């Protein structure tokens, strides 16, 4: 972590009055990914120590919607802006909960709403920090099938006890149950109707219709 990123983290953490910062995950000691990946938020995410491929967050989880093949291969370059937009939507949700709290007379319900608002503001802060890091780079793209397979073999999506499961958003932490089909950037079929996805649940790949709405993960190659 460089000095700029450290100071940014300290400043926002102080704002949130919290010593915890969910954007900085700690891998279990027995995790396979420990030897192959390092957390480099100033580069945009988890860096493969061998190939310099940096894995960012799930676009599906960032925009709360699946995407088609065209989006995954063309619009993924706008990944930092999607993070900024998500951060703003979280602030809007926080404001809605605060408004609801202001109209409550039941102190227990009021506090519950305020707690939800506080949580949304914390999520927005971590997403803003991730977006600020990601914005430094313009080479965000979808992974190739070969990159997905290599990441699977190196433990990026490891399952089971002490598993290293990719953090899908800047604030939700590791999701041991997370899974789903995710677009690769491999070329579509000759008739342009099918394209390849990788399942981070099973480690298998298969073809689906290019208009299907599934997941997409942002990656970039660090220089």
What pLDDT tens digit does each residue of the chain (223 aa) get? Answer: 454 444 444 444 443 333 333 344 555 555 556 678 888 889 998 899 999 999 998 887 788 788 999 999 999 999 999 999 999 999 999 999 999 999 999 999 999 999 999 999 998 998 999 999 999 999 999 999 999 999 888 888 765 555 555 667 777 655 544 457 899 999 999 999 999 999 887 889 999 999 999 989 999 999 8
Question: Helix, strand, coil proportions of the chain in percent (round to 5)?
Answer: 45, 15, 40
CA triple 201-164-150, angle to 5 deg: 65
**38 within 8 A of 24, measured Cβ to Cβ:** no
- pTM for the model stands at 0.79
d(CA 81, CA 177) in angstroms, rounded, equals 27
Torsion sign (Cα): 103, 105, 108, 111? positive
What is the DSSP code string of 98-125?
HHHHHT---HHHHHHHHHHHHHHHHHHH
Q: What is the pLDDT of residue 196?
A: 97
- Phi and psi of 197, rounded to 5°? -120, 160
Q: What is the pLDDT of residue 179?
A: 57
Q: What is the pLDDT of residue 153?
A: 85
d(CA 2, CA 41) in angstroms, rounded, equals 9
d(CA 143, CA 54) in angstroms, rounded, equals 10
d(CA 115, CA 140) in angstroms, rounded, equals 35
Q: What is the pLDDT of residue 12?
A: 42
Report how far apart, in Å, the C-alpha atoms of 214 and of each of 140, 159, 174, 211 are: 18, 21, 20, 9
Which of 4-29 are b and which e, b meaning 16 or more Cβ less than 10 Å from the residue's Cβ? ebeebbeebbeeeeeeebbbeeebee
3-state secondary structure of 43: helix
């Amino acid at each position: 972590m460089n000095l700029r990123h450290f100071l940014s983290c300290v400043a926002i953490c102080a704002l949130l009055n919290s010593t915890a910062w969910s954007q900085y995950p700690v891998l279990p000691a027995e995790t396979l990914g420990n030897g192959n990946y390092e957390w480099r938020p100033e580069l945009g995410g988890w860096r493969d120590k061998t190939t310099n491929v940096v894995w960012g967050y799930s676009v599906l989880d960032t925009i709360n919607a699946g995407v088609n093949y065209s989006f995954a291969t063309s619009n993924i370059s706008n990944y930092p802006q999607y993070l900024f937009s998500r951060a703003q939507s979280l602030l809007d949700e926080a404001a809605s909960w605060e408004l609801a709290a202001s109209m409550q007379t039941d102190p227990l319900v009021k506090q519950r709403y305020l707690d939800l608002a506080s949580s949304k503001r914390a999520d927005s802060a971590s997403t803003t920090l991730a977006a600020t890091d990601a914005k430094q780079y313009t080479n965000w793209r979808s992974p190739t099938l070969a990159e997905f397979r290599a990441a699977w073999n190196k433990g990026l999506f490891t399952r089971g006890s002490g598993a290293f499961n990719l953090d899908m958003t800047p604030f939700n932490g590791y999701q041991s149950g997370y899974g789903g089909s995710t677009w690769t950037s491999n070329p579509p079929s000759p008739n342009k109707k099918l394209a390849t996805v990788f399942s981070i649940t099973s480690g298998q790949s298969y073809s689906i219709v290019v208009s299907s709405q599934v997941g997409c993960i942002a990656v970039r190659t660090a220089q």
